[in-house]
Structure 1
Amino acid sequence: MTAKHDVIIIGSGAGGSSVAYQLALAGKQVLLIEKGPFLPRDASTLSVRQVFVDGVFKNHTVWHDAGGRDVVPSEFYNVGGKTKWYGAALFRFRPVEFEAEPDFDLLDWPFGYDELEPYYDQATELLRINTFTNEPELQALLDRITTADPGWKLEPLPLGLSKDILTNPDEAKHFDGFASPSGYKSDAERNLIDHIRGRPNFKLIAGDPVAELVAAPGDPRRIIGVKCADGSTHEAQTIVLAAGAMTSPRILQDYLRASEITLPCGDLVGANFKMHMNSAVLGFSPFKDHDVLRKTAVLFNDKFPHSSMQCLGWIDEELLATQVPPEMPRFLDRFLGKRAIGFWATTEDSSSPQNRIISGGPGGQPVMDYSLDRMEKARKEHQALVDAWIDRLLHAGLVGFEKYMGLAGTAHALGSMVTGSDPSKSVIDPHGKVHGMEGLYVGDGSALPRASRVNPSLTIYAWGLRLGKHLAATG
């Protein structure tokens, strides 16, 4: 094997970068391995055609769904992971969202909000979270909605976004779903990795996927290294899986299959997969909309306790054309694009052991077995949320349409290796160590037992910071 490290981290997204940040500052020898390359820091990551039409930067691996049909998840493999492409919405989960909710088939965390609070605080500082004043036309629309129905509670959207973006209209219109070449958007690379990259105890390998875990000779339950696709091997006392909730469980599944060992949690590796129920809702007005930033507000309604409604970023004819049938005439795209305003409807999906990620093994196709039929209460709340919002838009003078994002919409993939104290009901312990294994931890969204009603990125950052501190103290 090559030079030994204290910790090897697989994946450079929110969780992996947070673990690496804590450990590098603590003086540990850290190797961070990322499957994908560095993104260019030029205007190509702001191009609607390259990002949304041609999918230059997205995953192209074809998966199967439960019925054997092809699906291509919206995953990203690059330094910084999906944080380069997210909409920068950075929420804290509510204390109640750390508790079980049996009536909605929601699992509990092995600890409460208070345990994660200091790491939420640290992540908030590192990611420089701001709120923005709603632009005039958006505010006028939201006022009409909340005045007519006070059940909708309006709050500012917490964003990892620099106020300087307002001086650059092109980036202000292209931050939600785009990577910022100017660094206006907080992400794992710029706000964490860049701060430790020059340290002598930190090394980053980009563009070389981890192919398999390596065990100690004669002890398959102790992981001591990784083997990469190029054949290189790297050794460490501790290995952290942080490649995302759709990749990390497959790495462990492949290892368990090859080593033929049985873990108490073995059947749960990949199970309880969650990804939120997400729908885009577009409202069309008779009048042109001149706002630019737009994604500055979120609304909640007690009628939909597991759901939220966020404003989306800029939508114009080019972006609209990626969401409508190709048969629609371009003049209609132009007409509607100038009058469109977008919203993002999110509902926490229930936890189901049947919803799972399954590795296809070396050379095989992975499977995402995920069905709304297993989550009837969540499905009904989500549809009621969307219907109610479209009705509110209509009363406010806009015609609304919805689009459920489906299996490809995996931006909020979570829960495929949940944390818990009971090895028969969870994959990792409260500190992230895989039950029944030594030297193997999970540092990404796979760990989260619940998804909450909002974007999970800040919670993944917080989980990674907490795990990094734990490993620094015990390693």
Structure 2
Amino acid sequence: MYQSYDIIIIGTGAGGGTLAYALKDSGAKVLLVERGDYLPREPENWDTRAVFAEKRYKPEEKWYDDSGQPFAPGVHYVVGGNTKVYGAVLLRLREQDFEEIVHEGGISPAWPVSYQAFEPYYTKAEELFFVHGKVGEDPTEPPRSKAFPFPEVPHEPTIEQLAAKLRDQGLRPFSLPVGIDLREGGRCVRCKTCDGFPCKLGAKADAEVCGVEAALQSPHVELMTRTFAQRILTDPSGRRAVAVELVRDGERFTVHGGTIVVASGAVNSAALLLRSDSTAHPDGLANQSGLVGRNYMVHNSTFLMAVHPIWQNATSFQKTLSVNDYYFGKNDFPYPMGNLQMLGKLQADMLKAQKPFVPKPILGRIADRSVDFYLTSEDLPDPENRVTLGANGRIQIRWKPNNLVAHRQLVQETKRMLRRAGYPLILTQKMGIETNSHMCGTARFGTDPATSVLDPYCQAHTVQNLYVVDSSFFPSSAAVNPALTIAAQALRVADHLMQKSEFTNEKIEYCET
């Protein structure tokens, strides 16, 4: 079988789905490749037990830690990728996050481009993902050329009361920027089943709804589902990628592309490059620096429940408030700590998945009386934290958390803040290796081919028409959700590709494998 495209995009999440949208009117013939299928809209989308206990939408795939122990990663192989179940929080990185920052645990390196290079693309991404927010509340808010495209999501009464109590402490809580369809005539009903759930109404700003659906309206864009990208093939020199070896329903075949974009997520993109070794690239495709798979980051994160024995929390859509007062530290701890934001409202079956031996009625009473937070601190790039391939190509993750003093400090500050707000009981759960929704860093971008895999437009230094457009390119993780930055970079790369106008799809002989 011989099929030829101008651009092949492997992955349909925040990077791949957004890139396909941005290229839909370019005239280029685009192929989107997705290893999963469409996630069905069905009653189980909002069934807490089905989603969290039965793990209905997660693959049975296992990854392995550095001691060889298997774990179930937090990935979803569907059209739209992990954005189908994300919390739709769409924060920009802070302006300082693009610069070198001294942390208690080490150095967070500077990005090869400034915040100003990303700012117009952040604006476009917020419009594409219909972000609701409010300018002027966040004390760390970076400069903006435009206001949010839609007004903030209002706090429900319990959360508004909490925000007032935090302001009384001198803190500056702000409205969390989220992508849900509360536009005029929008589909969102502000339910409890958004964060961590698929949306059966299509009201979440995910990569399928905002990117892939619109891209497929173009006659030039095609989607292959249930199709696994096994390898990327190059010409004999190794300097040009020419084709992708795919597997669909047990059949192996090859498609040719003028430009090939990997957008499978930080782990699977690294794994694909490593599987694509050849005589020209013996250590993996585009891996002359030896950095493919290295500097894996996933954030230090803790779930926190603040419980009052009497107060009931009847909030439905809880994910509307965030606090960044500790993001860059405070007087008695002059190092960055991170971000805290509301979780979607926790429910008994969600807690049962984490605490299987606690009776469900007890968990239900706790959840009914809690306000729930997600605490995120930056973990620092470490070349020994990495993705490798083991026996039979299985994925192995070595991740030793770092910068933990700062994260513990953030947890303590949050506990004090919430006790002052009237919540005497604080429960916490530190997240481990399996909670990898914010993974990044495995093919960092930069200007020096010796210290980076990609250039500032995410093109491989050593393969002229190969790009990696997902969170792999991050040289640091910052301490906010990565989705908006991935989407902004996809829009930036799309502009770069269209300016180059070098889409070619001639058939070229392969490099010897």
Specify the TM-score bucket, using the shorter chain as the normaliser.
over 0.9
Tell me what 1:211 maps to.
230
Q: Distance in 2 between matches of 1:85 and 1:196?
A: 21
Contact in 2 for aligned 1:220/1:261 (Cα 8 Å): no
| 2:210 equivalent to 1:185 | no
Tell me what 1:295 maps to.
319
Q: Distance in 1 between matches of 2:71 and 2:185?
A: 37
Contact in 1 for aligned 2:337/2:410 (Cα 8 Å): no
- Of the candidates 309, 316, 319, which is equivalent to residue 350 of structure 2? 319
Tell me what 1:443 maps to.
469
Tell me what 1:125 maps to.
127
Q: Distance in 2 between matches of 1:27 and 1:168?
A: 32
In structure 2, relative to structure 1, the CA distance for the partners of 1:459 and 1:167 (3 Å cut) is closer
| 2:309 equivalent to 1:309 | no
Q: Distance in 2 between matches of 1:95 and 1:21?
A: 27
| 2:448 equivalent to 1:422 | yes
Counterpart residue type for residue 400 of structure 1: I
| 2:367 equivalent to 1:367 | no
Contact in 2 for aligned 1:18/1:468 (Cα 8 Å): no
Residue segments in structure 1 that go unaligned for 5+ positions in a row: none
SS of the residue 1:247 aligns to:
helix
Counterpart residue type for residue 397 of structure 1: G
- Cα distance, 1:260 vs structure 2: 4.6
Q: Distance in 1 between matches of 2:318 and 2:40?
A: 26
Tell me what 1:237 maps to.
258
Tell me what 2:220 maps to.
201
Counterpart residue type for residue 106 of structure 1: S
Q: Distance in 1 between matches of 2:319 and 2:39?
A: 24
Contact in 1 for aligned 2:53/2:349 (Cα 8 Å): no
SS of the residue 2:158 aligns to:
helix
Q: Distance in 2 between matches of 1:242 and 1:472?
A: 18
SS of the residue 1:346 aligns to:
strand
Counterpart residue type for residue 382 of structure 1: H
Tell me what 1:226 maps to.
244
Tell me what 2:378 maps to.
348
Q: Distance in 2 between matches of 1:402 and 1:333?
A: 14
Contact in 2 for aligned 1:9/1:31 (Cα 8 Å): yes
List aligned pairs for 1:5-404, cutoff 5 A. Answer: 5-101=5-101, 103=103, 104-130=106-132, 131-148=152-169, 150=170, 152-163=171-182, 172-216=191-235, 218-229=236-247, 230-256=251-277, 260-261=281-282, 265-286=288-309, 287-300=311-324, 301=326, 302-303=329-330, 305-324=336-355, 326-360=356-390, 363-372=392-401, 375=402, 378-398=403-423, 399-404=425-430
Q: When the two structures are superposed, what TM-score results if normalisation uses the length of structure 1?
A: 0.94
Residue segments in structure 2 that go unaligned for 5+ positions in a row: 133-151, 503-513
Q: Please give the per-residue CA displacement for 1:257-307, whole angstroms capped at 9, x wherever unaligned.
A: 675546674410011111111110011112211111111011012436340
- Cα distance, 1:142 vs structure 2: 2.8
Single out whichever of 456-465 and 65-74 deviates more from structure 2.
65-74
Contact in 1 for aligned 2:307/2:426 (Cα 8 Å): yes
- Aligned Cα RMSD in Å? 2.0
SS of the residue 1:3 aligns to:
strand
- Of the candidates 499, 510, 513, which is equivalent to residue 473 of structure 1? 499
Contact in 2 for aligned 1:110/1:420 (Cα 8 Å): yes
- Cα distance, 1:168 vs structure 2: 8.4
Q: Distance in 2 between matches of 1:280 and 1:169?
A: 25
Q: When the two structures are superposed, what TM-score results if normalisation uses the length of structure 2?
A: 0.87
Q: Distance in 1 between matches of 2:406 and 2:477?
A: 15
SS of the residue 1:390 aligns to:
helix
Tell me what 1:453 maps to.
479
Single out whichever of 339-348 and 265-274 deviates more from structure 2.
265-274
Q: Please give the per-residue CA displacement for 1:94-143, whole angstroms capped at 9, x wherever unaligned.
A: 12111122553212211101111111111111111112121111121232
Contact in 1 for aligned 2:302/2:428 (Cα 8 Å): yes
Q: Distance in 1 between matches of 2:48 and 2:182?
A: 23
In structure 2, relative to structure 1, the CA distance for the partners of 1:45 and 1:386 (3 Å cut) is same
Contact in 2 for aligned 1:264/1:435 (Cα 8 Å): no
Q: Please give the per-residue CA displacement for 1:177-224, whole angstroms capped at 9, x wherever unaligned.
A: 1111111110111111111212111000011111111222x2333211
SS of the residue 2:24 aligns to:
helix
- Cα distance, 1:310 vs structure 2: 0.2
Counterpart residue type for residue 361 of structure 2: F
In structure 2, relative to structure 1, the CA distance for the partners of 1:168 and 1:79 (3 Å cut) is closer
Counterpart residue type for residue 344 of structure 1: Y
Contact in 2 for aligned 1:17/1:188 (Cα 8 Å): yes
Single out whichever of 197-206 and 133-142 deviates more from structure 2.
133-142
Q: Distance in 2 between matches of 1:222 and 1:298?
A: 45
- Of all paired residues, the percent bearing the same amino acid is 31
* Matched pairs, number: 466
Contact in 2 for aligned 1:197/1:204 (Cα 8 Å): yes
SS of the residue 2:172 aligns to:
strand
Tell me what 2:147 maps to.
none
Q: Please give the per-residue CA displacement for 1:139-180, whole angstroms capped at 9, x wherever unaligned.
A: 2123223323x2x32111000012279998976110011111
